[in-house]
Structure 1
Amino acid sequence: MDAVIEKHAEPASPSALARRTRIGAEIRRRLVAHLAAGGTTDMAASTLQFGGSVYTDPARFAAEKRELFGNTPLVAGLSGDIPNPGDVILFDLAGPPILITRDKDRQLHAFLNVCPHRGARLVTECTAQRRLVCPFHAWTFDLDGALMAIPGREGFEGLDPATRGLTRVPVAEWNGLVFVQATPGEASIDVEGFLGNFAPELAQLELGAGQPVKSGVLEARANWKYVLDTFGESYHFARLHNQTLAPYFISNVAAFDRFDRGYRVAFPDVGLRALVGKPEAEWPPTEFAAVHFLFPNTILFIGSVVPGKWYIQVFRLFPGDSVGTTRTHFAVYAPRDGADDAYRAEVAQAYDATAHVVMTEDYRVAAEAWDALSRSPGARVVFGRNEIALHGVQQSIAQAIDMPLA
């Protein structure tokens, strides 16, 4: 069974939950059909082959850092990471140190986290701030970046404070997602224009309802794109995850939808086998669960820790200091309303279990593969038709940096 490669989303319905439930039911129906057909999966029209240098070339790596991580909107977090006036987010992984604030009117601002006096790092911890006070000489700034006070003002006679505010960085908040663009400037971010027909699919997730539970940084000794590929297919579950994920999820079966440069993919749990041949009226209620890719580097997973208890996983992958290193910021979220301590503890346990599998299995194999590719000039890789999500990701990255896959 072949997937439709391009899917145009309909406008968001008045009820995000109703829309999400309906789409979740459609996805489940497709997955059960694959299982009924003997374990088929959505597929691309053909395989995709290209040189291993796509993952190892320093020139390509430099272009990705410049175009994708300097000039493209990036997810800096969820609204739940900065819910109240005075809250801040520190965002350093894209290159320049960036500070995001929420002011008393609940508006977001973003700046280079650099004092315009002598370049000191202005904020070093994500604690609530009434004012931003430089730890070096106590220059003081409002949450909107304006310079409010200079100790020893007489030493700076003739300096116009209005010209020494913090350097602005584009920022936007949309449906629970916080975006920044790492190149300083006054430009705005057109989130819906950036997301295209993926926007309604993300809006229905109600990410603004998420409250952070646990986060950390996962390191990989592999190129960021190779690491990113591991999130988009279940073909490897039976072998690589034979003791961890394979007992719970069916390998090499997926329902895939592409939306401009993003995608949504769902993998069936083993419980769906019981629905094969059973009238749909007898199926249990649908619980939406799917992986979403936001170009260029973010994976969102919406699912349940146990039936009836939803949570969010967010993976944001960033290139390290060299072409063969990756830093992944991984965070999990529980509902802001209705999640007691026991519920949050289950979500924290899900973080620990996921991080363990990612580090000891996915990132271990990615590091071994990248090392082999980096020492094998002329090596080539091939994406199978069943690895459909990976095709579009690598093609979109290549197009964005104007360096074709070859």
Structure 2
Amino acid sequence: MAERDPTDSLTPDWAASRTLRAHEIRRKIVTHIAAKTTDMAEGPLPLHKSVYTGGARFAAEREHLFLRQPLVAGLTGDIPQPGDYLVFDAAGPSILVIRGKDGIVRAFRNMCTHRGAKLVEQSEPFTGKASRLTCPFHAWTFNNLGGLIGQPGKAGFAGCDIGARDLLPLPCTEHLGLIFVRASEGEAIDAAAHLGDFADELALLELHKAVPVKKGILHAQSNWKFSLDTYGEGYHFAALHASTIGQTHYNDIAVVDRFGLHHRINFPDNSLGNLVGLPEADWPETEYGGVHYLFPNTIIFFGSITPGVYFTQVFRLFPDGVGKTRCQFGVYAPFGVHSDDYRGICEMAYDATAEVVQAEDYRVASHGYANLLTAPEDFHVVLGANECAPQAVHRHIADAVGMPL
């Protein structure tokens, strides 16, 4: 059992810790703005088009990443109370993630052990609440600990060793407000080992306090990695997002901090240019924010759009075939919904972000992927040295699936 709420008498003042981290990041950003530079890789990285279009590589990614890696199925706030459950089906098998009456989160195949029917027929991002789950086929019933507690016609299964089975469990743990699930049977998930040093950064977000406000699904007609690349660089802000973030943020300036397989990126807004040449003692207070990438497929944005108004946005990208991306997107109130007005602001943040991502980022990803399908066999895309975060992601994915770039 992992902790649900890491708060105790020794817990740091997370707000103060976020402020300190924000100062560290801002110092790096102002240096880049002054020099008109950005964090860089050692050099450009050419990628053969098959990195995105190849069937063998895609099959390896499904096997080694989406079935074997710990994946974020949701946040603590998605199923906060005993009996709450969510459907997690984007990784492949349909999975139920349930908080039992004992408060522990468990994952089970969404499959009755009688004839394999789905216990819950809705799809992600569906959530519900139940003390028991009854199969719609023959009414076998299970409690929220996964145990079989009702079996109509029980006499018909007498003498069968597998005629009375509990739900089939999958590895699951809850850590720092994140619920991790592995979509195949195997050893328990060690979330702390998976996150490594990145756990200290994620702790700053206090994700165990986040309350879901609005969720939905975004789609791209592209390989999932082609869509994921768009979250890792600000080189496209001025051109693709000319009417939105391209007006408020610097183009092609970013601070990238790596933590093993994971990273955090910070993109500077235009106001930080006013700090160039100003003594740090005269800098105004700042607020923490950043784009946090959890290997292999999750992006968590935490920050404020206007001072004091925070959002947590979670993007989880999954392949829906080699050439399709299904993104589970949700906006959360980081520290709870304290008013109807604030809820409305969070809902508007969902709508505005979904519109930009779908109409701009995923539009160009879809068009680019379509071009790759018909490009010459020796065609390579190229990630510049200024696109160092996507470079690292591709290298880590290639290492995980055992297929060099």
TM-score category, normalised to shorter length:
over 0.9
Q: Is 1:30 aligned to residue 28 of structure 2?
A: yes
Q: 2:157 touches 2:163 (CA, 8 Å); kept in 1? A: no
Distance 1:13 1:130, change over 3 A: closer
Q: Secondary structure at the match of 2:303?
A: strand
Q: Distance in 1 between matches of 2:106 and 2:289?
A: 33
1:302-346 per-residue CA deviation (whole Å, 9 max, x = no partner) reads 0113210111000000001x2111000000100344621111111
Q: Describe the shift of the 1:369–1:43 C-alpha distance in structure 2 as closer, same or farther (beyond 3 A).
A: same
Shift, 1:354, TM fit: 0.7
Q: CA deviation at 1:159?
A: 4.2
Amino acid at match of 1:291: V
State the distance in 2 between where 1:159 and 1:211 align.
45
Aligned-partner Cα distance in 1 for 2:201–2:11 = 11
Cα distance in structure 1, aligned partners of 2:13 and 2:173: 24
| CA distance in 2 between partners of 1:273 and 1:364 (Å) | 31
Is contact 2:224-2:319 (8 Å) kept? yes
In the other structure, the counterpart of 1:132 is 133
How far residue 136 of structure 1 moved from its aligned partner, in angstroms, is 1.5
- The equivalent residue for 2:348 is 349
1: distance between equivalents of 2:353 and 2:153?
A: 52
Match of 2:16 in 1: 18
Deviation at 1:156, TM superposition (A): 2.0
Partner of 1:304 in structure 2?
A: 304
User: Do residues 72 (structure 1) and 69 (structure 2) align?
Assistant: yes
Letter in 1 for 2:139: A
1:107 positional shift: 0.4
The answer as to whether partners of 1:305 and 1:350 remain within 8 angstroms in 2 is no
* 8 Å Cα contact 2:206/2:334 also seen in 1: no
C-alpha spacing 1:232/1:76, structure 2 compared with 1 (3 Å):
same
Shift of residue 135, structure 1, vs aligned partner: 1.4
User: 1:278: Cα distance to partner?
Assistant: 2.0
1:296 Cα deviation after fit: 0.3
The offset of 1:163, in angstroms, is: 5.2
Partner-residue secondary structure (3-state), 1:291: strand
- The residue type paired with residue 24 of structure 1 is A
For 1:308 and 1:179, the matched residues in 2 are separated by 30
Q: Does 1:177 align with 2:174?
A: no
Query: What is the one-letter code of the residue matched to 2:60?
Result: A
Q: In 2, Cα distance between the equivalents of 1:93 and 1:324?
A: 15
Amino acid at match of 1:183: S
The answer to whether 1:205 aligns with 2:205 is yes
Tell me what 2:7 maps to: none
CA-to-partner distance for each residue in 1:381-401, whole Å, 9 max, x for gaps? Answer: 111111110111000000001
Distance (Å, rounded) in 1 between the aligned partners of 2:110 and 2:24: 45
Contact 1:317 1:327 in 2 (8 A): yes
Give the structure 1 partner of residue 3 of structure 2: none
Distance in 2, matches of 1:344 and 1:92, equals: 27
Output one character per residue of 1:203-228: Cα deviation in whole Å (capped at 9) or x when no partner. 22111110000010101000000100
* TM-score for both structures, normalised by structure 2: 0.94
- CA shift, 1:160, in A, is 5.7
Which aligned pairs between 1:47-58 and structure 2 lie closer than 5 A?
47-58=44-55
SS in 1 for 2:128: coil
Aligned length: 391
Deviation for aligned residue 1:82: 0.6
In structure 1, the residue corresponding to 2:330 is in which secondary structure?
A: strand
For structure 2, which runs of at least 5 residues remain unmatched after alignment? 1-9
Paired residues for 1:173-252 under 5 Å: 173-185=174-186, 187-252=187-252
**TM-score, normalisation: structure 1:** 0.93
- Which of the residues 86, 92, 95 maps onto 2:92? 95
Report the alpha carbon displacement of residue 50 of structure 1 after superposing the two structures with TM.
2.1
Contact residue 262 and residue 294 of structure 1 kept, 8 A: yes
The answer (yes or no) to whether the contact 1:311–1:332 under 8 Å persists in 2 is yes
Q: RMSD over aligned Cα, in angstroms?
A: 1.5
Match of 2:78 among 62, 77, 81: 81
Cα gap change, 1:361/1:338 in structure 2, threshold over 3 Å: closer, same or farther? closer
Q: Which amino acid aligns with 1:32?
A: V
Instruction: Give the 3 Å change call, closer, same or farther, for CA 172–261 of structure 1 in structure 2.
Output: same
Aligned to 2:4: none
By how many angstroms is 1:176 displaced?
A: 0.2
Alpha-carbon contact 2:337-2:343 (below 8 Å) kept: no
Contact 1:146-1:162 within 8 A present in 2 as well: no
Deviations 1:264-308 (A, max 9, x none): 110001111122222222222111110011000000100113210
* Greater mean alpha carbon deviation, residues 27-36 or residues 93-102: 27-36
In the alignment, the residues of structure 2 paired with residue 337 and residue 368 of structure 1 have an alpha-carbon distance, to the nearest angstrom, of: 39
Shift of 1:13: 7.5
Tell me how far 1:144 sits from its aligned partner: 1.1
Q: Is contact 1:112–1:184 with CA below 8 Å preserved after alignment?
A: no
